[in-house]
């Protein structure tokens, strides 16, 4: 929690009252926008490249060798999946449906796992898109794909095995200055983070709605009606239907996950779990 360092004020000079009032006024917003973090566990991990949370509050983490671990909300290792063919996981999604989606940009494929991390199927995206930058689930177990080749958002209907939605990006993003980093569907809305522009929001038919003007967001998540993301040293929770927000001062980490009362911070070698 931020504070003003005042140990050097222990002397006889009586400070000006206006100065005290000014300092108090400057301090109040900081105090009201952050909370104390209580560390409850520290778990040794190995070089995470993608993280997610399932509907039970367990953590899913992929390492740089392609292994996927499921970790309990208290930090206990529960399950492990080691693929037959090693590849770097680009995106991991465990919340949207009961299945877990694993997207490999290098393979241009999606692997679906069940809740026990057993493989269900693999979907080759190459017949449907030019080059998939990102792929993520929608609530009907179809797959949103961001296609770099024609600069568009597509929905692959897995039951029909064809593209049923195609939304061009050229009127939304600058084709010469964009960097899409993450995508996730939540409450029938699709959120896409472009590092140059902000977090774009689309409806479940792929229609563009608006942009949250927060740049350089590489990962975001959701708690109730809030979208959360990191800006500077703060984890910001912003209501997706209003301007209401709260901010928490957090240590530096590579990835952040949050639930209603718990934070998970991932560094190269450690998962730190906090209550907040």
C-beta separation of 137 from 174 below 8 A: no
The terminus-to-terminus CA distance of the chain in angstroms comes to 12
C-beta separation of 257 from 51 below 8 A: yes
Percent of the chain topping pLDDT 70: 87
152-157 β-sheet, strand order: 132-137, 143-147, 152-157, 162-168
98-154 pLDDT per residue, tens = 999 999 999 999 999 999 999 999 999 999 999 999 999 999 999 999 999 999 999
Residue 181 above 70 pLDDT?
yes
- The band of 183, judged by pLDDT with boundaries at 50, 70 and 90, is very high
Q: Cβ neighbours of residue 242 under 8 Å, at least 6 residues apart? A: none
Cβ burial of 132 (10 Å; 0-12, 13-18, 19+) is buried
Percent of the chain topping pLDDT 90: 86
CA pseudo-torsion sign 105, 110, 114, 115: positive
252-271 pLDDT per residue, tens = 999 999 999 999 999 999 99
Q: Phi then psi for 106, rounded to 5 degrees?
A: -65, -35
C-beta separation of 156 from 142 below 8 A: yes
**What is the value of pTM for the model shown?**
0.86
């Amino acid at each position: 929690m931020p504070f003003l360092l005042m140990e050097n004020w222990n002397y006889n000079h009586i400070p000006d009252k206006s100065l005290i009032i000014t300092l108090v006024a400057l301090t109040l917003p900081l105090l009201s926008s952050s909370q104390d973090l209580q560390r409850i566990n520290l778990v040794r991990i190995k070089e995470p490249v993608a993280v997610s949370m399932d509907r039970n509050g367990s953590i899913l983490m992929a390492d740089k060798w392609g292994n996927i671990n499921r970790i309990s909300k208290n930090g206990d290792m529960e399950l492990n999946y080691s693929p037959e063919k090693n590849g770097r996981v680009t995106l991991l999604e465990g919340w949207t449906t009961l299945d877990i989606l694993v997207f490999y940009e290098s393979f241009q494929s999606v692997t679906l796992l069940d809740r026990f991390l057993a493989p269900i199927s693999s979907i080759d995206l190459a017949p449907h898109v030019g080059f998939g930058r990102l792929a993520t689930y929608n609530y009907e177990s179809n797959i949103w794909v961001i296609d770099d080749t024609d600069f568009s958002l597509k929905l692959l209907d897995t039951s029909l095995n064809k593209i049923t939605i195609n939304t061009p990006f050229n009127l939304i993003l600058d084709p010469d200055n964009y960097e899409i980093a993450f995508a996730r569907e939540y409450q029938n809305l699709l959120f896409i983070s472009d590092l140059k522009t902000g977090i774009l929001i689309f409806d479940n038919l792929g229609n563009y709605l608006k942009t949250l003007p927060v740049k350089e967001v590489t990962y975001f998540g959701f708690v109730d009606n809030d979208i959360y993301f990191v800006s500077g040293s703060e984890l910001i929770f912003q209501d997706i239907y209003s301007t209401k927000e709260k901010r928490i001062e957090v240590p530096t980490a590579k990835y952040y996950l949050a639930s209603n009362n718990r934070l998970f911070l991932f560094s190269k070698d450690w998962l730190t779990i906090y209550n907040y």
